């Protein structure tokens, strides 16, 4: 390490109290920012879990739909029209809706029911027990082995229950994918059983799932669907639409952004203030260095180094702490919705850079203006 | 005759403007040579520190010139001036200005490190200078653990470690008792002074006048007299 920076390093870390205060400030700010944004990212990813789990390339939906669970039924003629669009390999209906399950012990539990196209079973889950064909068996339902399954009393194959006054029996256990937002179990059945067991309107399909012949057909399909008065979205676009809904049209997103901004401001004020005090208390030393012959840019590099070092260390500690908490929360609560994404890390990193930048800017302004004469006069 | 180290001509410095203006130094000219210890003495407020700062490249005069080894220092760019201070001048500040977060030996190494010497090499040289001032055993302590006289010696070691031609002391004995002060001056005269060095000391302290080769008296921003070693 460059000797001047090494002096800067020693001046910083040997000032234990202030260095600790600085680190705590930045760590805490990063921790809060990462926690808030990770929780939000977790919630967002769950809000579109059905889209991800079904895995269709394209979704046809009513343009007013902005999250999976509140779907607006699509009439059958749309399905037929979509099937005849050039570039569509196949198009199948999907049912997605809520129902009440009455367990053997008489307790009611809300569930999400997904009805798969009877012919293709498109969007079928991966089973860990049982055979997918058994879904055609009388009253057959597949239950997803996720964090919510205990709410159904941990059913096994053969477990019987009542669903909206119809009989149901578990014929398979599916591997958990991304859990949903609302913490309720998911059941799969066939489309026809879903619409006959569960109350539905005149139109029955929640979505039409489309497999295009190739990706180059997508723009054309979209256009043709919009002529029908419906919207065709790729899975990514649908996920984005749902995210945007939660981000901008519910209090959730705004609150998270506010909390992130508050964490940033708290971090900035704690660290900026402490760093400024640190610089003020060391002003005499910077002045002495200047008198002895340190150049302006050398003093600037010392301050940038001190601010940068603290910021990166604080960033690392903050991210580490957040990961630790999220990990241990997930151990205790498998359902805990938080995930650290690169975007979150990036946001926190940029915020930390800004904190370091502003702190060093005010420090540098002070240090550049010191008159070594004042040091000299004592 | 020893060669000329510093030639100051018609130096003047004032602070503030209008009614608030104080003339700290009014048209001062003097010379200092290598191989001599020059004292600048005078009452408080007579402009001694201001004068020292102008000849050492720390405070820009309002008028007049300072030639150091025939170079006009106030015509230099700020980085060049910083290099001049680093290479030519050794400062012993009135209240030492040692760095409490560094060890004693690291304090002494500062000018060497600023001169871009390698860290370990700088510490090695610094510890030799600590030995010269008799403090090699204190090398790893923080300066606050040292007595006032010892801190003064650390400041001297730091000032001489970069082998400057000109050493500037402002009130080196002001916070020391008479004995310690005399010991330090004796030390400076015996071990620090040589034919290629010029030492300028500002002081109030008449107890150490005997170590000067020449004394310049200042009052109210002017030189009012000069006396030579008997
Ligand atoms: N930065 C400044 N602003 C205003 N006035 C100043 C400033 N620096 C010095 N002065 C004034 O200039 C005059 C000379 O000050 P200087 O510090 O050079 O005196 P000095 O002889 O070193 O005194 P002392 O023996 O007390 O250290 C004093 O009147 C002082 O008040
Ligand atoms: Mg003075």
| pLDDT, tens digit, 9 for 90 and up, residues A6-30 | 999 999 999 999 899 889 988 988 9
Substitution site in B12, B16, B45, B52 for ligand 1 pocket (most atoms within 8 Å of beta carbon): B45
* Confidence check: pLDDT of A351 > 90: no
A136 shares a domain with A84: yes
Strand-strand pairing, A186-190 and A108-116: parallel
- pLDDT for res B230: 67
A116 shares a domain with A21: no
**A181: pLDDT confidence band, cut at 50, 70 and 90?**
confident
**Among residues B173, B30, B42, B34, which one has the least CA distance to residue B96?**
B173
CB of B45 within 6 A of ligand 1: the answer is yes
A222 shares a domain with A281: no
- pLDDT for res B13: 96
- B52 CA: nearest ligand 1 atom: 18
| Residue A51 resides in a domain | no
Substitution site in B48, B53, B169, B201 for ligand 1 pocket (most atoms within 8 Å of beta carbon): B48
| Residue A52 resides in a domain | no
CB of B40 within 6 A of ligand 1: the answer is no
A359 shares a domain with A294: yes
d(CA B89, CA B11): 19
| Residue A34 resides in a domain | yes
Backbone angles phi, psi at A211, to 5 degrees: -110, 110
CB of B21 within 6 A of ligand 1: the answer is no
- B47 CA: nearest ligand 1 atom: 18
Asked if A14 and B102 come within 8 Å (Cβ–Cβ), the reply is yes
A-chain CB neighbours of B79 within 8 Å are 295-296
A19 shares a domain with A134: no
* Two structure tokens written together for B60: 């820009």
| Residue A154 resides in a domain | yes
Take atom 29 of ligand 1 and give the residue whose Cα is closest: B45
User: Mean pLDDT in chain A?
Assistant: 89
The range of the structural domain enclosing residue B39 comes to 4-228
A260 shares a domain with A189: no
A-chain CB neighbours of B119 within 8 Å are 1, 3, 6
A339 shares a domain with A278: yes
When divided into structural domains, chain A yields a total of 2
A263 shares a domain with A225: no
**A165: pLDDT confidence band, cut at 50, 70 and 90?**
confident
* Two structure tokens written together for B203: 């002081």
The four Cα atoms A65, A66, A68, A71 give a dihedral, to 10 degrees, of -20
Q: Which ligand is nearest to the CA of A373?
A: 1
The range of the structural domain enclosing residue A150 comes to 75-229
Backbone angles phi, psi at B91, to 5 degrees: -105, 140
- Who contacts A4 (Cβ-Cβ below 8 Å, separation ≥6)? A294, A298, A301, A302, B113, B114
A178 shares a domain with A128: yes
Task: Return the CATH number at B118.
Answer: 3.40.50.300
- B46 CA: nearest ligand 1 atom: 21
Q: How far is the CA of B185 from the centre of ligand 2 (A)?
A: 19
B-chain CB neighbours of A370 within 8 Å are none
ipTM above 0.90, yes or no: yes
Asked if B114 and A288 come within 8 Å (Cβ–Cβ), the reply is no
Give the torsion sign (CA, B189, B179, B139, A303).
negative
What does pTM read for this prediction?
A: 0.80
Q: How many helices (H) and strands (E) does chain B have?
A: 6, 10
When divided into structural domains, chain B yields a total of 1
Residues in chain B: 230
A80 shares a domain with A217: yes
A303 shares a domain with A203: no
- pLDDT for res A1: 67
């Amino acid at each position: 390490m460059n000797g001047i920076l090494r002096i800067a390093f020693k001046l910083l870390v040997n000032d234990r109290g202030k260095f600790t205060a600085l680190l705590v400030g930045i760590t805490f700010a990063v921790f809060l920012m990462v926690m808030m944004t990770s929780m939000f990212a977790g919630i967002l990813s769950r809000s579109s879990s059905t889209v991800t789990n079904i895995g269709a390339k394209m979704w046809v939906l009513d343009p007013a739909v902005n999250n999976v669970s509140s779907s607006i039924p699509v009439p059958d003629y749309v399905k037929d029209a979509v099937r005849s669009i050039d570039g569509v390999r196949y198009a199948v209906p999907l049912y997605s809706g809520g129902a009440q399950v009455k367990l053997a012990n008489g307790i009611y539990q809300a569930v999400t029911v997904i009805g798969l196209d009877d012919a293709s079973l498109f969007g079928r889950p991966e089973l860990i027990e049982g055979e997918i064909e058994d879904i055609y068996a009388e009253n057959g339902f597949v239950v997803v082995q996720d964090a919510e399954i205990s709410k159904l009393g941990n059913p096994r194959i053969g477990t019987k229950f009542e669903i909206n006054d119809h009989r149901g029996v578990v014929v398979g256990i599916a591997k958990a994918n991304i859990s949903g937002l609302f913490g309720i179990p998911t059941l799969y059945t066939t489309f026809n059983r879903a619409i006959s067991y569960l109350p539905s309107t005149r139109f029955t399909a929640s979505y039409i799932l489309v497999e295009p012949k190739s990706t180059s057909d997508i723009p054309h399909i979209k256009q043709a669907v919009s002529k029908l008065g419906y919207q065709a979205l790729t899975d990514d676009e649908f996920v984005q639409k749902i995210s945007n809904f939660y981000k901008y049209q519910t209090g959730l997103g705004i609150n998270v952004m506010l909390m992130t901004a508050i964490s940033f401001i708290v971090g900035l004020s704690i660290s900026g203030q402490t760093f400024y005090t640190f610089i003020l208390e060391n002003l005499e030393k910077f002045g002495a260095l200047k008198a002895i012959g340190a150049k302006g840019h050398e003093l600037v590099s010392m301050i940038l180094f001190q601010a940068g070092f603290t910021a990166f260390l604080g960033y690392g500690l903050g991210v580490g702490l957040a990961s630790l908490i999220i990990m241990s929360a997930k151990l205790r609560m498998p359902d805990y919705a938080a995930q650290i994404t690169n975007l979150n890390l990036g946001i926190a990193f940029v915020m930390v850079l800004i904190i370091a930048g502003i702190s060093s800017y005010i420090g540098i302004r002070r240090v550049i203006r010191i008159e070594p004469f004042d040091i000299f006069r004592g | 005759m020893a060669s000329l180290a510093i030639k100051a001509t018609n130096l003047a410095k004032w602070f503030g403007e209008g009614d608030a203006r104080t003339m700290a130094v009014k048209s001062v000219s003097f010379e200092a040579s290598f191989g001599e210890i020059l004292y600048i003495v005078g009452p408080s407020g007579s402009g001694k520190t201001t004068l020292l700062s102008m000849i050492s490249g720390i405070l820009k005069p309002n008028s007049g010139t300072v030639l150091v080894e025939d170079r006009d220092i106030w015509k230099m760019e700020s980085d060049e001036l910083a290099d001049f201070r680093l290479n030519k001048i050794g400062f012993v500040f009135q209240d030492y200005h040692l760095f409490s977060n560094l060890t004693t030996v690291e304090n002494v190494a500062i000018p060497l490190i600023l001169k871009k010497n390698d860290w370990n090499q700088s510490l090695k040289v610094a510890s030799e200078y600590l030995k010269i001032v008799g403090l090699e055993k204190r090398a790893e302590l923080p300066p606050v653990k040292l007595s006032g006289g010892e801190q003064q010696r650390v400041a001297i070691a730091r000032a001489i470690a970069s082998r400057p031609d000109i050493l500037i002391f402002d009130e080196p004995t002001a916070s020391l008792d008479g004995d310690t002060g005399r010991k330090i001056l004796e030390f400076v005269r015996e071990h620090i002074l040589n034919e290629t060095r010029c030492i300028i000391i500002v002081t109030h302290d008449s107890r150490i006048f005997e170590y000067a080769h020449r004394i310049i008296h200042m009052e109210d921003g002017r030189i009012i007299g000069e006396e030579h070693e008997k």
